[in-house]
């Protein structure tokens, strides 16, 4: 195709800017020009290869950077684990020491309690036996006292009978007169004896009553003491069982000490392993950091090579020698000039103000991913630019996209195929919804801010999902009333 096929006819457009490029395309090609064109083609391929290599090195550098960050995080985690293991080890050792002290104290206390309890149990056992014996003896004494009381009652009964008998004998002696005088003496003696017996028996009975009461009370208290002693003996057995359990608890403490030791040992080993792993990881991180520095230097060197190759291609294209980019350069410059004229005409018709046309207040579109923005000139570009951009997009098979961007890399109106409505998938959005977005990377800003007649660059286009396409970026500045508005970019297949 030739440059004329790419031209558009907006009102008031001046074609004089593309005259030199068109004229160069009609002149016969000399051998030198053919050689220069071949060199340009090879430089173009070389630039694409260098760009691809530079991008891949950049990807590796980014991956190294991510891995380095990950390693730094791992080192931090290992250090935290090491500190935690150290704290656990110290706690385990402290618990072990405390348990050892408790064990010693338990052994001493248990030994003393067992000795004291054994002696108390012996005393309580003897006391219980003595109480039982005393209770039995008192029970026998009570039985004997009651028998004595019964005997006393029998004596009193006999005494009463004797008294009655002596009374009867006295009565009979009185009746007998002189003959019964001796019998009367006997009766009086018997009566006196009965009186004495009654008095002694009464006194003895009173004393026996008191003795029986005292012995009964003593017997009850003895039985109560015996029961108390029995309960004490049973209680001492319960205490003995508790002491046995206490001793079992002491053995459990001893077992616990062994378990703490079993836990402490692998914890120490784990802490040592973590410390060694941390040291090894630190060395690995240092090596990765060094490799990242080397790769970053390689990226800078390859970027310098890309810049040199772009400069060579630009110089060849500007020399007037016809190359593969000559017609496209002319088309880019003509379209940029046309867009500038359209913007100036809109200003003259007061369809937009200068402040609105140069608006750089990028308002985020809510919920968009990747982030889209709006400005006050988007409505104008949506109306003016699609006819120009769509016509140019279909005019050459090498053109992947063509769109105008402002001086900050904001792309308000893209080709229709890249201006789809966003969906839920950010990867799909990145490839198909490229309008209303800021492309302020190195290539995007260079094309947006370039004021030379044209700028030819090589770059890798991010298509989303880790896919990249090596392309050439051709741009020409858009001027409005002598003021730089931005640039017209054309993305070309290599």
All structural domains of the chain with their residue ranges:
3-27+322-493
Instruction: Indicate if the pLDDT at residue 232 is higher than 60.
Output: yes
Report the alpha-carbon angle 359-362-365, nearest 5: 140
CA distances to 9, 33, 147, 370, 381 from 434, rounded to whole Å, are: 27, 39, 128, 9, 15
Most confident of 86-100, 211-225, 439-453: 439-453
- pLDDT, residue 326, reads 85
CA angle 450–446–422, rounded 5-degree value: 120
Residue 266 clears pLDDT 50, i.e. is over it:
yes
- Which residue pairs from 372-376 have beta carbons closer than 8 angstroms and sit at least 24 positions apart in sequence? 372/422, 372/433, 372/435, 372/436, 372/437, 373/410, 373/436, 373/437, 373/438, 374/436, 375/406, 375/410, 375/412, 376/352
**What is the pLDDT at residue 24?**
43
Q: What is the pLDDT of residue 324?
A: 67
CA atoms of 89 and 65, how far apart (whole Å): 35
Specify the DSSP class assigned to residue 484.
E
Please tell me the predicted confidence (pLDDT) of residue 299: 57
Q: What 3-state DSSP class applies to 318?
A: helix
- Report the 10 Å Cβ neighbour count for 60: 15
CB 289 within 8 A of CB 8: no
Nearest-angstrom CA–CA distance, 242 and 84: 40
At residue 2, the pLDDT reads 37
**Ranked by mean pLDDT, which of 58-67, 143-152, 369-378, 453-462 comes out on top?**
369-378
pLDDT-derived band at 229 (thresholds 50, 70, 90) equals confident
Give residue 1's pLDDT.
34
Q: What angle do CA 127, 131, 135 make, to 5 degrees?
A: 175
Average pLDDT over residues 397-420: 97
Q: Check pLDDT > 60 for residue 14.
A: no
The strand pairing partners of 493, in sequence order, are 471
Residue 12's pLDDT band (cuts 50, 70, 90): very low
Q: What is the CATH number of domain 3-27+322-493?
A: 3.30.450.20
In terms of Cα–Cα distance, which of 148, 149, 171, 152 is closest to 160?
Answer: 152
Reported as a single tens digit per residue, the pLDDT across 46-95 is 655 666 666 567 666 666 667 777 767 777 777 777 777 777 777 777 77
> Which among 306, 338, 319 has a CA at the least distance from the CA of 494?
306
Mean of pLDDT over the chain: 77
Q: Assess whether pLDDT exceeds 50 at residue 5.
A: no
Could you give the percent of the chain with pLDDT greater than 90?
30
% of the chain beyond a pLDDT of 70: 74
What pLDDT score was predicted for residue 280? 79
Which of 253 and 436 is assigned the larger pLDDT? 436
| 392 has a pLDDT exceeding 90 | yes
The residue ranking higher by pLDDT, 366 or 59, is: 366
Which pLDDT band, with edges at 50, 70 and 90, does 167 fall under?
confident
**Pairwise pLDDT comparison (244 vs 319), residue with the higher score:** 244
Which has the closest alpha carbon to 388: 432, 348, 331?
331
Most confident residue range from 20-29, 278-287, 294-303, 418-427:
418-427
Q: Whole-model pTM?
A: 0.49
Q: How far apart are CA 250 and CA 244, in angstroms?
A: 10
Give tens-digit pLDDT for 282-304. Answer: 777 777 676 666 666 665 666 56
């Amino acid at each position: 195709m030739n440059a004329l096929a790419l031209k558009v006819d907006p009102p008031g457009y001046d074609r004089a800017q593309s005259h030199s490029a068109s004229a160069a395309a009609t002149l016969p090609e000399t051998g030198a020009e053919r050689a220069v064109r071949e060199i340009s083609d090879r430089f173009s391929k070389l630039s694409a290869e260098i760009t691809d290599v530079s991008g891949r090195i950049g990807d590796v550098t980014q991956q190294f950077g991510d891995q380095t960050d990950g390693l730094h995080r791992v080192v931090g985690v290992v250090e935290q684990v090491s500190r935690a293991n150290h704290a656990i080890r110290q706690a385990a050792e402290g618990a072990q020491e405390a348990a050892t002290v408790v064990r010693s104290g338990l052994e001493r206390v248990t030994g003393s309690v067992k000795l004291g309890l054994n002696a108390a149990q012996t005393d309580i056992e003897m006391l219980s036996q003595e109480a039982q014996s005393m209770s039995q003896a008192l029970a026998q004494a009570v039985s004997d006292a009651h028998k004595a009381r019964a005997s006393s009652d029998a004596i009193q009964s006999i005494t009463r009978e004797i008294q009655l008998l002596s009374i009867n004998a006295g009565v009979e002696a009185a009746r007998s007169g002189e003959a019964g005088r001796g019998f009367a003496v006997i009766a009086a003696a018997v009566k006196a004896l009965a009186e004495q017996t009654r008095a002694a028996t009464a006194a003895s009975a009173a004393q026996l009553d008191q003795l029986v009461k005292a012995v009964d009370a003593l017997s009850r208290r003895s039985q109560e003491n015996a029961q108390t002693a029995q309960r004490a003996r049973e209680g001492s057995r319960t205490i003995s069982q508790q002491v046995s359990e206490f001793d079992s608890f002491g053995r459990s403490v001893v077992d616990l000490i062994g378990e703490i030791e079993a836990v402490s040992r692998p914890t120490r080993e784990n802490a040592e392993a973590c410390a060694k792993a941390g040291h090894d990881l630190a060395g690995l991180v240092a090596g990765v950091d060094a490799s990242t520095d080397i790769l970053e230097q390689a990226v800078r060197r390859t970027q310098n090579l890309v810049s040199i190759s772009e400069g060579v291609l630009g110089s060849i294209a500007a020399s007037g020698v016809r190359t593969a980019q000559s017609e496209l350069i002319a088309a880019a410059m003509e379209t940029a000039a046309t867009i500038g004229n359209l913007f100036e005409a809109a200003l003259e018709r007061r369809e937009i103000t200068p402040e609105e046309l140069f608006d750089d207040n990028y308002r985020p579109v809510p919920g968009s991913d990747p982030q889209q923005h709006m400005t006050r000139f988007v409505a104008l570009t949506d109306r003016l630019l699609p006819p120009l951009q769509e016509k140019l997009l279909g005019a050459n098979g090498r053109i992947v996209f063509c769109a105008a961007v402002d001086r900050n890399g904001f792309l308000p109106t893209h080709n229709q195929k890249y201006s789809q409505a966003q969906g839920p998938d950010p990867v799909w959005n990145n490839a198909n919804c490229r309008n209303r977005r800021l492309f302020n990377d190195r290539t995007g800003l260079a094309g947006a801010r370039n004021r030379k007649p044209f700028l030819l660059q090589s770059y890798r286009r991010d298509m989303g999902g880790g896919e990249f396409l090596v392309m050439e970026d051709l741009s020409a500045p858009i001027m409005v009333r002598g003021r730089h508005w931005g640039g017209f970019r054309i993305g070309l297949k290599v």
